């Protein structure tokens, strides 16, 4: 018989750096998940992505067991990384804080494609370009 999912938890944790301290502990503790075991499994699964923030969906079953699924890093984090900026613009698209090349845009879109609502790489590039524009990051070769 299949296990029934009783809770679905979404977190964004730095890769390879999960600890039982807040925010992980305060969210997973009440769900009855073994915090040390989860942190160990998460850190092992994200070891090669250190420095990125990796979203994770945790499924808690009726017998208090769990499974988790890793997602791709948020588009905003990837844009900041590729544009080499600390944060986006405070004024949104009205203030330019960085620039992305078409190659960078394609690389980000290829990473994000599995989690985006797009059929092909061009559609994913448009979604990522929109996010970049709203962060104040200009994309070379694209008009406003």
CB 79, CB 39: distance < 8 Å: no
pLDDT in tens, 92-107: 778 888 888 888 888 8
Give me the half-sphere count of Cα atoms (radius 13 Å) on the Cβ side of residue 122.
Answer: 0
Domain 5-70 annotated CATH 3.30.1550.10: yes
**Per-residue pLDDT, 61:** 87
- How far is CA 96 from each of CA 78, 83, 85, 99, 129, rounded to the nearest angstrom? 17, 11, 11, 8, 14
Domain borders along the chain are 5-70, 75-139
Cβ neighbors of 48 (< 8 A, separation 6 or more) are none
CB 39, CB 27: distance < 8 Å: no
Pair type for strands 137-139 and 5-14: unpaired
pLDDT band at 144 (very low <50, low <70, confident <90, very high): low
**Per-residue pLDDT, 53:** 86
**Per-residue pLDDT, 63:** 83
Question: Would you say residue 19 has pLDDT above 80?
Answer: yes
Nearest to 72 by CA among 121, 118, 111, 27: 111
What predicted TM-score, i.e. pTM, was given to this entire model?
0.76
Question: Would you say residue 143 has pLDDT above 70?
Answer: no
CA pair distance 9, 56, nearest whole angstrom: 8
Where residue 55 falls (left for φ over 0; alpha for ψ -120 to 50; beta otherwise) is beta
The encoded tokens of residue 61 equal: 């079953």
CATH of domain 75-139: 1.10.10.250
């Amino acid at each position: 018989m299949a296990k029934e999912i009783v809770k679905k938890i979404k977190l964004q944790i730095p890769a390879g750096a999960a600890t039982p301290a807040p925010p992980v502990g305060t969210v997973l503790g009440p769900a009855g998940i073994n915090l040390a075991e989860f942190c160990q499994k998460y850190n092992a699964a994200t070891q090669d992505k250190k420095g990125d923030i990796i979203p994770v969906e945790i499924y808690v079953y009726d017998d208090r067991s769990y499974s988790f699924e890793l997602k791709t890093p948020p588009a905003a984090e990837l844009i900041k990384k590729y544009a080499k900026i600390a944060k986006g613009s405070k004024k949104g698209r009205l203030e330019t804080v960085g620039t992305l090349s078409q190659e960078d845009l394609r690389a980000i879109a290829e990473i994000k494609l599995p989690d985006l609502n797009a059929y092909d790489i061009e559609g994913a590039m448009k979604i990522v370009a929109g996010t970049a524009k709203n962060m104040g990051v200009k994309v070379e070769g694209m008009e406003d």
